[in-house]
Amino acid sequence: MTVYLNGQFMPIEEARVPVLDRGFIFGDGVYEVIPVYSRRAFRLAEHLQRLQHSLDGIRLPNPHSEPEWTRLINALIAGNDGEDQYLYLHITRGVARRDHAFPNPPVAPTVFMMSSPLTTPPTALLHSGVSAVSAPDNRWLRCDIKAIALLPNVLLRQMAVDAGAAETILIRDNDFMTEGAASNIFVVKSGTLLAPPKDNLMLPGITYDVVLELAAANNIPYQVRRVAKEEVFDADELLLTSSTKEVLAITTLDGKPVGDGKPGAMFTRMYTLYQDYKRDVMRKKQD
Task: Report the alpha-carbon distance of residue 166 to residue 158 in Å, rounded.
Answer: 9
Catalytic annotation, pick one of 146, 189, 198, 256: 146
**Which positions from 101 to 140 touch ligand PDD by CB under 6 A, shown as an x/- string?**
----------------------------------------
Residue 182 within binding range of ligand PDD, rule CB under 6 A: yes
- Taking the complex as a whole, how short is the minimal distance between the CB of residue 264 and ligand PDD, in angstroms? 21
**Judged by CB under 6 A, which stretch of 16-24, 52-60, 122-130, 203-211 contacts ligand PDD?**
203-211
Residue 54 within binding range of ligand PDD, rule CB under 6 A: no
Would you tell me how many other CB atoms lie within 10 Å of the CB of residue 169? 28
DSSP states along 19-47? TTBHHHHH--EEEEEEEEETTEETTHHHH
> Which one of 21, 84, 179, 237 is in contact with ligand PDD (CB under 6 A)?
179
- Taking the complex as a whole, how short is the minimal distance between the CB of residue 260 and ligand PDD, in angstroms? 27
Would you tell me how many other CB atoms lie within 10 Å of the CB of residue 43? 18
DSSP code of residue 133: E
Binding to ligand PDD in span 204-233, by CB under 6 A = 205-208
Q: Which is nearer to ligand PDD, 99 or 140 (CB)?
A: 140
Contacts of 190 (CB under 8 A, 6+ apart): 236
Q: Which is nearer to ligand PDD, 41 or 95 (CB)?
A: 41
> Which one of 54, 92, 120, 184 is in contact with ligand PDD (CB under 6 A)?
184
List the helix and strand counts (H, then E) for the chain.
8, 16
Q: Which is nearer to ligand PDD, 120 or 131 (CB)?
A: 120
Would you tell me how many other CB atoms lie within 10 Å of the CB of residue 46? 14
Residue 203 within binding range of ligand PDD, rule CB under 6 A: yes
Cα 165 to chain centroid, rounded: 18
91: β partners = 30, 111
**Which positions from 22 to 51 touch ligand PDD by CB under 6 A, shown as an x/- string?**
-----------x------------------
- Taking the complex as a whole, how short is the minimal distance between the CB of residue 29 and ligand PDD, in angstroms? 13
**Judged by CB under 6 A, which stretch of 6-14, 107-115, 160-168, 237-245 contacts ligand PDD?**
237-245
Backbone angles phi, psi at 277, to 5 degrees: -60, -45
CA neighbor of 84 nearest in space, from 240, 206, 242, 244? 244
- 189 catalytic? Reply is no
**Amino acid at residue number 231:** E
Question: Could you check whether the bond before residue 105 is cis, i.e. omega within 30 degrees of 0?
Answer: yes
257: β partners = 252
Contact residues for ligand PDD (CB under 6 A)?
A: 33, 153, 179, 182-184, 203, 205-208, 241-244
Catalytic residue numbers read 146
